[in-house]
Amino acid sequence: MLTDNPEFLKLRELMVSEQIERRGITSINVLNAMRAVPRHLFVAQKLLNEAYADYPLPIGLNQTISQPYIVALMTDALGLKSHHKVLEIGTGCGYQSAVLAEIAAQVYTIEILPELAKRADNILQNLGYRNIHGKCGDGLTDWAEQAPFDRIIVTAAPLNLPLELLKQLTFDGCMVIPFGSYSQDLYRIIRKSNNQIEQQRLVPVRFVAMTGKVEKTTV
């Protein structure tokens, strides 16, 4: 694991206390994960001074690293346990993957853009994560051989809820996903044992669009 900088440690603690705890996130696991992951290592050198700011940042290729609070909120909504196997769709820079891996047993993450997938893999390997399994491919189907997953998190927005992803959840498993076009909302979806779903709207959000097979396969 790479060594950390005391100044960044201080900024990270402020991020957790002022941006996350203040907004009502109380899970010790989530707060500790947000404290543990060095967010500044996932952003461009020119943006280091903004790494712990309360807004998303560009990571190239028209993609972003999410606002810290949204990362914490989505992680909290998953209700992660230490034995869980998680699917993450949209690796991006790898920051959310690392936060998940601080709590869950195994994280399977996928990124459709090869340059981002390679960059994220390099960062995560350098940080010493061995419970994160990454690949470049289509998020809808390309980790399906590892299903079922206890939890699924989607960090890009399809227009509607994808049926194929629901099939990859365990019964009573949870998925956190944004969907919509220009107007998007974040949802917590539970797959019930009778194959029905329980759906809870969380907050309005703005994510990049999910691309690939999902554009043709939604419910």
- 92-151 per-position pLDDT tens digit: 999 999 999 999 999 999 999 999 999 999 999 999 999 999 999 999 999 999 999 999
In the set 17, 27, 66, 183, the catalytic residue is 66
State pTM to two decimals. Answer: 0.95
Q: Which of 206, 202, 148 lies closest to 24, judged by CA?
A: 202
Q: Among this protein's residues, is 193 annotated catalytic?
A: no
What's the distance, Cα to Cα, between the start and end of the chain in Å? 42
Q: What amino acid is encoded at 19 in this protein? A: Q
What digits encode the pLDDT tens for the residues 25-73? 999 999 999 999 999 999 999 999 999 999 999 999 999 999 999 999 9
Sorted by where each starts, the structural domains of the chain and their CATH numbers stand as 6-215 (3.40.50.150)
For position 199, what pLDDT does the model report? Answer: 95
Please tell me the least confidently modeled range out of 35-39, 67-71, 154-158, 178-182: 178-182
**Residue 3: pLDDT band with limits 50, 70, 90:** low
Residues 88, 153 contacting (CB under 8 angstroms): yes
